[in-house]
């Protein structure tokens, strides 16, 4: 009895059909995975927003971007630490020494050491976007966990706000800051809903950054470091213009969509933009606790107005 098999042409046709099906399915699978990662990122921001509002309910104000006891250079506390108990991370919050922060307190100078390592080396999933890689920021023999969520420090200038009393370093008192408007967060200032006269639903509180490469001292996107917890609206989301970083050893250009340049004149003249690996834009947390998606193509003036708390701008919801 003669047995039939596939001819070479039939086999090639079947292989071609399978290849076409795979080519059609792969983008759909990748899109579904990206949608899931973006949804998780949005959920993280919502959790942060809820924690900030619970903090506000308790303290009648949002947490400060950073409180710095300028009598002791090491005594710094960031918004990321203030909201730990409200993220159901009370154990970490209780382990945090708020009088010393990330350094060992030494009068007259900052010595980076193991203080608060239990907290600062903990990888907190709520602070990480699944589209980025996690990792750490290294400083000598010590390191801190990375983060992808940052607080808005300036609508249209550098990170140190004008007229903020910053006596520890007189070069950082705002003389070089071109900002003309206030954001919700900054150094040594505490603001609440009463201060957002532009409307909490029209004001951005937090957004995303692509953090610096792991095991480097690139401070961008670090949950327990001065510059790692903030960004500005000076440039639009995912701008090709490099972030201003100081000093030059802190600028590491090895990650896609996260360019930097050592263009800061002093450590307070730095400027980081909102960045993400989401296609076409970044997620933002509004001051009312809601989340939005800001497109890369957003008008710069609109983007800056969204970070302003009291300049009287009117921003339409369809503008971004």
CA-based Rg of the chain, rounded to a whole angstrom?
A: 23
* pLDDT value at 250 more than 60: yes
* pLDDT value at 310 more than 90: yes
DSSP string for 253-294: --STT--EE---SSTT--B-----SSTTEEEEEETTS-EEEE
Task: Please state, in angstroms and as integers, the Cα–Cα distance from residue 109 to each residue in 73, 97, 104, following that order.
Answer: 6, 18, 10
Higher pLDDT, 247 or 208: 208
- The answer to whether residues 146 and 223 touch, using CB atoms and an 8 Å cutoff, is yes
Give me the chain's average pLDDT, please: 85
pLDDT score recorded for residue 6: 65
Mean pLDDT is highest, among 51-55, 162-166, 220-224, for: 51-55
- The answer to whether residues 294 and 207 touch, using CB atoms and an 8 Å cutoff, is yes
- The residues, ordered by sequence, that sit 6+ positions from 319 with a Cβ below 8 Å of its Cβ are 298, 299, 302
pLDDT score recorded for residue 109: 43
Count of residues making up the chain: 320
User: Mean per-residue pLDDT for 42-46?
Assistant: 97
Percentage above 70 pLDDT, the chain: 83
- The residues, ordered by sequence, that sit 6+ positions from 5 with a Cβ below 8 Å of its Cβ are none
- The residues, ordered by sequence, that sit 6+ positions from 132 with a Cβ below 8 Å of its Cβ are 146, 148, 210, 211, 221, 277
How does pLDDT run across 89-143, given as a tens digit for each residue? Answer: 999 999 888 777 665 544 444 445 677 888 888 889 999 999 998 888 887 777 8
Query: 76: which strand partners?
Result: 68
What is the C-alpha separation between 188 and 256, in angstroms, rounded?
33
Higher pLDDT, 260 or 313: 260
Lowest average pLDDT, out of 56-70, 120-134, 139-153, 161-175, goes to: 161-175
Higher pLDDT, 247 or 215: 215
Task: Please state, in angstroms and as integers, the Cα–Cα distance from residue 123 to each residue in 119, 140, 146, 239, 291, following that order.
Answer: 9, 19, 7, 28, 23
* Banded pLDDT at 162 (limits 50, 70, 90): confident
* pLDDT value at 254 more than 60: yes
* pLDDT value at 165 more than 90: no
- Residue owning tokens 């950082």: 172
pTM of the entire structure?
A: 0.87
What is the C-alpha separation between 209 and 125, in angstroms, rounded?
15
Mean pLDDT is highest, among 22-36, 188-202, 261-275, for: 188-202
- Domains of the chain, by residue range, sit at 33-319
User: Mean per-residue pLDDT for 50-78?
Assistant: 86
* Banded pLDDT at 175 (limits 50, 70, 90): low
What is the C-alpha separation between 182 and 198, in angstroms, rounded?
11
pLDDT score recorded for residue 47: 98
- The answer to whether residues 181 and 191 touch, using CB atoms and an 8 Å cutoff, is no
Lowest average pLDDT, out of 72-76, 184-188, 216-220, 256-260, goes to: 72-76
* Banded pLDDT at 1 (limits 50, 70, 90): low
């Amino acid at each position: 009895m003669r047995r039939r098999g596939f001819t070479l042409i039939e086999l090639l046709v079947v292989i071609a059909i399978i290849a076409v099906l795979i080519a059609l399915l792969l983008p759909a699978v990748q899109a579904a995975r990206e949608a899931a990662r973006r949804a998780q990122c949005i959920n993280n921001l919502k959790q942060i927003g809820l924690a900030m509002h619970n903090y506000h309910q308790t303290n009648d104000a949002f947490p400060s971007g950073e409180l710095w006891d300028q009598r002791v250079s090491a005594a710094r506390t960031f918004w990321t630490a203030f909201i730990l108990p409200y993220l159901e991370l009370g154990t970490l919050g209780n382990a945090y020494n708020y009088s010393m922060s990330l350094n060992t307190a030494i009068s007259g100078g900052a010595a980076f050491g193991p203080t608060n390592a239990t907290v600062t080396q903990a990888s907190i999933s709520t602070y990480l976007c699944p589209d980025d890689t996690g990792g750490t920021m290294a400083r000598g023999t010590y390191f801190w966990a990375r983060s992808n969520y940052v607080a808005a420090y300036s609508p249209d200038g550098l990170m140190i706000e004008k007229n903020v009393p910053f006596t520890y370093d007189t070069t950082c008192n705002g003389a070089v800051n071109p900002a003309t408007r206030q954001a919700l967060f900054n150094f040594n200032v505490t603001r609440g809903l009463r201060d957002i006269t532009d409307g909490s639903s029209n004001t951005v509180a937090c957004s995303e950054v692509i953090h610096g490469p792991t095991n480097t001292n690139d401070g961008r996107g670090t949950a327990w470091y001065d510059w790692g917890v903030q960004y500005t609206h000076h440039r639009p989301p995912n701008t090709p213009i490099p972030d201003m970083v100081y000093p030059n050893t802190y600028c590491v250009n090895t990650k896609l969509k996260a360019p930097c340049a050592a263009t800061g004149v002093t450590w307070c003249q730095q400027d980081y933009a909102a960045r993400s690996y989401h296609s076409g834009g970044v997620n933002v947390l509004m001051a009312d606790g809601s989340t939005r998606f800001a497109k890369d193509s957003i008008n710069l003036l609109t983007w800056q107005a969204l970070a302003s708390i009291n300049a009287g701008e009117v921003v339409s919801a369809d503008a971004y």
